Amino acid sequence: MPIELPRRALFGSAGAIVLGITLPGCSAGESDVPAAPHPTGRAESGLTATVTRQSAGLVERYNATLTSHPSLAGLLGPLRTAAAADLNGPGVPTEPGSGGSDGDVPAEPDAALAALATEERRVSEARLRALDTAPPEAARLLASLSAAGAARTYLLTGARG
């Protein structure tokens, strides 16, 4: 008489066997494959400077839009705060009135939202392209910042009337 095993037990056993075969290959021992060269601190600091400059530019753009269109404060306030949270360090405009030129903000609120969404999209895509050359830790940060920018772009494009 054949032994019948429950399906869960069968899959669990198969999973344990597969893990037992593949996990030893993930050990911390020496590998025959040479490790990738460690990125230089100069490259990382250049990337950090670029990200900071991009984020500061976005915050200034939000500030200029808020100055030109105070009626958008309810929508743009939280998005501006989120964009400012991408920054750590000096040189970050903290108040909606500081920095940014009102001259490059469209007169119509919908056009101003569209311009802001375009800038968010441009920065988000630039960060996404930089993933290829970024060291792993910086790549994770860039991916996160790019996703946050894409979410803000989505919210800005959905807010237009």
Q: Is 40 helix (H, G, I), strand (E, B) or coil?
A: coil
* Cβ burial, residue 105 (10 Å; 0-12/13-18/19+): buried
- Mean residue pLDDT of the chain comes to 76
Portion of the chain with pLDDT greater than 70, in percent: 61
d(Cα 14, Cα 144) in Å, to the nearest integer? 36
SS3 3: coil
Q: Given this model, what pLDDT does residue 45 score?
A: 72
The per-residue pLDDT for 1 is 54
Mean pLDDT of 101-125: 90
Residue 22 has pLDDT above 60, yes or no: no
Q: What percent of the chain has pLDDT above 90?
A: 44
Q: Which top CATH class is 41-159?
A: mainly alpha
Region 96-123 average pLDDT: 82
Which of 17-21, 69-73, 124-128, 152-156 comes out lowest in average pLDDT? 17-21
Instruction: Choose among 8, 15, 130, 141: nearest CA to 85.
Output: 141
